[in-house]
Amino acid sequence: MPELPEVETIVRDLAPQLTGRRIDSLQVTRDQRVLERLIRHPTARQFVQRLRGRIIASVTRRGKYIVMPLAPRPTAKSSLDGDAESERLIVHLGMTGHLRVWEPEEAPVKHTHLRAMLDSGLELRYDDQRQFGRLLLGKQDDLVAARAFPARLGPEPIHGDLTESEFADLIHARRRPVKSALLDQSFLAGVGNIYADEACFRAGIRPSRWTHRLTVRERRALYEAIQDVLENSIAARGSSIIDYVDGFGLRGTNQEKLLVYGRSGEPCLTCGTPLQGTRLAGRGTVYCRSCQR
Ligand SMILES: [Zn+2]
């Protein structure tokens, strides 16, 4: 599943191609069941009607969500349209979703569910084989009220949005295994299974440790490790684990740099001990019994 670094990479790729572009027309799959599954809010019909003719004001990220605020309709009273008030197109890629800009003459790949023709002459397309992704359109408050978007998303762990002392307070207040805290999007936005395991390894902390039992030094190490693994992965254009590709359809290279994720049973790259695989917070978890305490 694409996590913060993968979504950040896509957002950076798409921003220059989409910012200021108008969506002239839309084409969606005829499979109503797929459509209802993907478009969580509003209805598929309203989604298409309300998106047509809109201008994408910017392309941003919040946690694992791609957030595209739309310019106010020309008829709307624009003076009242603050950031929280403006409508936005939001995409969550789920497991296998891809959002990319294509040349119109390129044949759509299998499982292309949405095509938006842009005034640049290019097409924004969404394909998703397993259909765990979701597409949302509306004002933030309405999406939360419709339970289509989380009411509470934790702070962004990078870009200086979270200080070390804020992180220490936050994690100390949560009495549960470190791994489940890291996966909880209302605690930190954007960290998933890959980077939770990688951060724990770098910090030398077992994922099963209780958050409120971490020492001051361990909390600091974890704070730094989270930022390191996310920023390093962004620099490597994300981890292509299942079928993640960036905004140009290319694979990232960070999967080659992962130290524990997906390496259960293989030797620890630091000490040579076979890495331990287990289940924690309902997810496959890998750690080193000797390096992580
Ligand atoms: Zn080790």
User: 74-104: per-residue pLDDT in tens?
Assistant: 765 555 545 547 999 999 999 999 999 999 9
Helices (H) and strands (E) in the chain, counts: 8, 11
Is the pLDDT at 57 greater than 80? The verdict is yes
- What pLDDT does residue 77 have? 58
Contacts of 121 (CB under 8 A, 6+ apart): 104
User: 142-152: per-residue pLDDT in tens?
Assistant: 999 999 999 99
User: 32-41: per-residue pLDDT in tens?
Assistant: 999 999 999 9
E-assigned strands of the chain? 23-28, 39-41, 60-62, 65-69, 87-92, 97-102, 112-118, 123-128, 134-139, 276-280, 283-287
Going by C-alpha positions, the residue among 117, 69, 61 that lies closest to residue 93 is: 61
The DSSP secondary-structure symbol of 76 reads S
| Centre of ligand 1 from the C-alpha of residue 262, in Å | 15
- What pLDDT does residue 174 have? 84
CATH number of 4-145: 3.20.190.10
List CB-based neighbours of ion ligand 1 within 5 Å.
268, 270-271, 273, 288, 290-291
DSSP string, 93-107: -TTTEEEEEE-TTSP
Confidence of residue 247 (pLDDT cuts 50, 70, 90): very high
Based on the residue annotation, tell me whether 283 is a catalytic residue of this protein: yes
- What pLDDT does residue 80 have? 52
User: 213-242: per-residue pLDDT in tens?
Assistant: 999 999 999 999 999 999 999 999 999 988
- What pLDDT does residue 160 have? 86
Based on the residue annotation, tell me whether 110 is a catalytic residue of this protein: no
Based on the residue annotation, tell me whether 87 is a catalytic residue of this protein: no
Tell me what percent of the residues of the chain surpass a pLDDT of 70.
Answer: 97
User: In what helix (H) or strand (E) does residue 7 lie, and over which residues does it extend?
Assistant: helix 4-18
Report, as an integer, the average pLDDT of 56-69. 98
Catalytic member of 2, 42, 69, 177 = 2
Catalytic member of 61, 64, 88, 219 = 64
User: 152-166: per-residue pLDDT in tens?
Assistant: 999 999 988 899 999
**Domain extent listing, the chain:** 4-145, 164-287
Mean pLDDT computed over every residue of the chain: 95
User: 101-133: per-residue pLDDT in tens?
Assistant: 999 999 999 999 999 999 999 999 999 999 999
The structure's pTM equals 0.95
Domains 4-145 and 164-287 share a fold: no
| Centre of ligand 1 from the C-alpha of residue 211, in Å | 21
| Centre of ligand 1 from the C-alpha of residue 223, in Å | 20
Q: Selecting from 1.10.8.50, 1.20.120.1200, 1.10.10.60, 3.30.559.10, what CATH number does the domain 164-287 have? A: 1.10.8.50
